[in-house]
Amino acid sequence: MGSAIWRKLEGEGFTALVGRRSGELDLRDREAVFDFFAETRPRYVVLAAAKVGGILANNSYPVDFLSDNLRIQTNVMDAALEVRTERLLFLGSSCIYPRMAPQPIHEDSLLTGHLEPTNDAYAIAKIAGILGVQAVRRQYGLPWISAMPTNLYGPGDNFSPTGSHVLPALIRRYDEARASGAQSVTNWGTGSPRREFLHVDDMASACLHLMEHYDGPQQVNVGTGRDSTIKEIAEMVASVVGFEGETRWDTSKPDGTPQKLLDVSKLRGAGWEASIGMREGLESTVAWYREHAADLREVG
């Protein structure tokens, strides 16, 4: 996400950009974060950094997902407040909404029901971030905002077999099966859950649009307003990578939330809609993955 936002800003002609990769600045280190903000004193901040992962990682390491994300968010927001950053955009996740929220999910569904248990720790951290933004608006009057993206994918994604989200995991699994000549691929669950996917470059475009055109305390959903079953997505991935074997489903593994489709009427009302189609986005993502596959395999 951060890289995509950086690309978008450069493409729009912004030149006074300041950022750090995680290897350069650990946002969990409060003193380091405050030093960074004191030195750079940014006028605008997009908080895209987070500890993220798929269903396996979230379910296996809830302490890490809760602790790391709370520290990242609190440190950045407190440091930004210290230097009176004019505008801050906090990026959350659609998993903040209740597991059985009415579909499509409207922003008003926040805190109206039980969360999906496989990623509740991450969701709670992100909900805390939204409330942090709202608290700054109430106490200090700064026009900070929050955006909740649907499932993102695209260049630069995490393709780790144990830590990735569903779409990069499918791309890697099917492409490796194609390359090895495997006759079948096995995916988790039943394939019936419905998911919405947004290309990361579209998300970057939405971020800039919101920074320029939206000012309100309520989080804004960012997505396409369309979803597909995991089975349909898997079939499209197989087609794009050229895998012609059989797809099997391990129904002993969890499906996660049955459906997560965002109501994006607020975003459309603000004047923005997604423009990158699913197959087009998949083709560019697969091309990026194949270009970087050797390096990615070295890290998991």
Binding residues for substrate, as ranges, are: 173, 188, 195, 255
Strand order in the sheet with 194-195: 228-229, 194-195, 259-260
Partners of residue 186 on adjacent β-strands: 248
In tens, the pLDDT along 263-274 reads 999 999 999 999
* 122 a catalytic residue: yes
**What value does the mean pLDDT take over residues 164-175?**
91
| List of domains in the chain | 2-298 (3.40.50.720)
Provide the pairing of β-strand 194-195 with 228-229: antiparallel
User: Which segments are annotated as binding site?
Assistant: 91-94, 126, 149-152, 165, 173, 188, 195, 255
Mean pLDDT value across residues 136-145:
98
Would you list which residues are annotated within the binding site for NADP(+)? 91-94, 126, 149-152, 165
**Which of these, 127, 38, 89, 115, lies nearest to 214 by C-alpha position?**
89
Strands (E) located in 53-203: 87-91, 145-149, 151-153, 184-188, 194-195, 197-199
Of residues 122, 153, 214, 289, which has the active-site annotation? 122
**% of the chain at pLDDT higher than 90:** 85
pLDDT digit string, tens, across residues 31-47: 999 999 999 999 999 99
pLDDT tens for 227-283 read 999 999 999 999 999 999 999 999 999 887 788 899 999 999 999 999 999 999 999
Question: What gap in Å lies between CA 133 and CA 227, rounded to an integer?
Answer: 29
C-alpha separations of 262 from 5, 150, 259 in Å: 21, 7, 10
The amino acid that residue 89 corresponds to is L
Considering only CA atoms, give the Rg of the chain.
19
Please tell me the predicted confidence (pLDDT) of residue 163: 66
